[in-house]
Amino acid sequence: MFTMTYNEAVRIQKSQIDFYAGHLTAGKRAELARMTKPCPFDPDEMRPVIEINRLVPRGGIIEKLCGFRK
């Protein structure tokens, strides 16, 4: 099972937002912020990635917001 912390996921998300900055409008950033849920446990606790993915959208979801995926 793959694990990570909530804080790791947030750092990755921020890095990806910076990378795709030219493709993310203010509206898309706001949508991403709404999709990002608060952490209901210790944010430094290792948790299954599938659980983290429900809280912190990254990767393909950000690419979809940029219009790269249908």
67 φ/ψ sector (left φ>0, alpha ψ -120 to 50, else beta): left
What is the longest distance spanned by two Cα atoms in the chain? 35
* Cα–Cα dist 52/12, whole Å: 12
Rounded to two decimals, what is the model's pTM? 0.91
Q: How much is the pLDDT for 43?
A: 98
Q: Tens digit of pLDDT for each residue in 5-61?
A: 999 999 999 999 999 999 999 999 999 999 999 999 999 999 999 999 999 999 999
Asked whether residue 70 carries a pLDDT value surpassing 70, the answer given is: no
